[in-house]
Amino acid sequence: MRLLYQSVFLIFLSLTISCNNTAQTNESMGPDEFEKAIQQKNVQLLDTRTAGEYRGSHIEGSLQADWLNEEEFISRTAHLDKSKPVYVYCQTGSRSADAADYLREKGFKQVVNLTGGMSAWRRAGKPAVADDPAKKQTSYQEYETLTKTASLVLVDFGAEWCPPCKKMEPVLNAFVQEQGTKVKLLKMDGGNEIALMQSLKVEALPTFILYNNGKETKRLQGVMTKEELEAWVK
């Protein structure tokens, strides 16, 4: 009987160690495994580096939230889906590991860190993209002209890599479709229009500004509902 108890205990211990090792493996992946994983549907890919680092080189399709900017990181990741996997990376894997721990504490079901970060990703010959530094910025005068191209112009300062901006896409699409020709939507790339945003005192993404015959009448920073947008144009 004693031998039987010992055997059962050893089997239990073996299973426990196996499960723990599996959980640990799933929390971090090397470049090859990470690349395959992010090709799945419903995956959220998050770059936890600064905006400058992101513009220099990033994995295509990734969102961005600077782990070193506490307010920005908390604000942007609040708009991620906790039920969907989140794959995170930084430059060497350190910042994103801390960010991953934070996200798990906040209730995200699966968070996976890229071991070695972008440094390991590039060493492995994996693809990366960069923003075009020569991309033309809109002057303030050009912007003023654009805000007068219709009686009501709704300006959206957002970016493809901004989580709350992505969350606003279906809301904006539904709103614009419903309004037809009554409201013109003007999308401005918040990752590129740095000087213009400074002139307009746009400090975060997304920011929405409504112009009536070329004059600013409404402004809001953050996400909005379709009902709130509709109230702006009544």
Checking if the pLDDT of 6 tops 50, the result is no
Question: Is-contact 91 119, C-beta < 8 A?
Answer: yes
- Three-state DSSP class for residue 161: coil
- Return the pLDDT at 133: 77
Percentage of residues in the chain having pLDDT higher than 70: 89
Chain centroid offset of residue 120 CA: 22
- In the beta sheet, which residues pair with residue 211? 153, 216
8 Å CB contact between 37 and 29: yes
pTM over 0.85: no
Q: What are the pLDDT digits (tens) for 131-147?
A: 887 889 999 999 999 99
Sheet strands (E) in the chain: 28-29, 44-47, 63-64, 86-89, 111-114, 152-158, 184-189, 207-212, 215-221
| 58: DSSP letter | B
In this prediction, residue 13 carries a pLDDT of 43
The residue with tokens 């379709």 is 226
Tokens encoding 70: 């506490």
Helix pair angle (94-105, 70-77), 10° resolution: 50
pLDDT in tens, 70-113: 999 999 999 999 999 999 999 999 999 999 999 999 999 999 99
- Is 135:109 a contact under the CB 8 Å cutoff? no
Query: Could you confirm whether 19 is annotated as catalytic?
Result: no
User: Binning pLDDT at 50, 70 and 90, where does residue 26 land?
Assistant: low
Among 10-19, 29-38, 73-82, 108-117, the least confident range: 10-19
Cα separation of 139 and 200, whole Å? Answer: 11
| Confidence tier at 12 by pLDDT (50, 70, 90) | very low
For residue 164, the SS3 value is helix
Q: What is the mean pLDDT of residues 177-194?
A: 94
Q: Which residues contact 48 (CB under 8 A, 6 or more apart)?
A: 65, 66, 67, 73, 88, 89, 90, 95, 96, 99
Catalytic option among 63, 90, 165, 202: 165
Instruction: Say if residue 39's pLDDT is above 80.
Output: yes
Q: Give me the catalytic one of 162, 197, 209, 224.
A: 162
Cα dihedral 24, 68, 60, 133, rounded to 10, equals -160
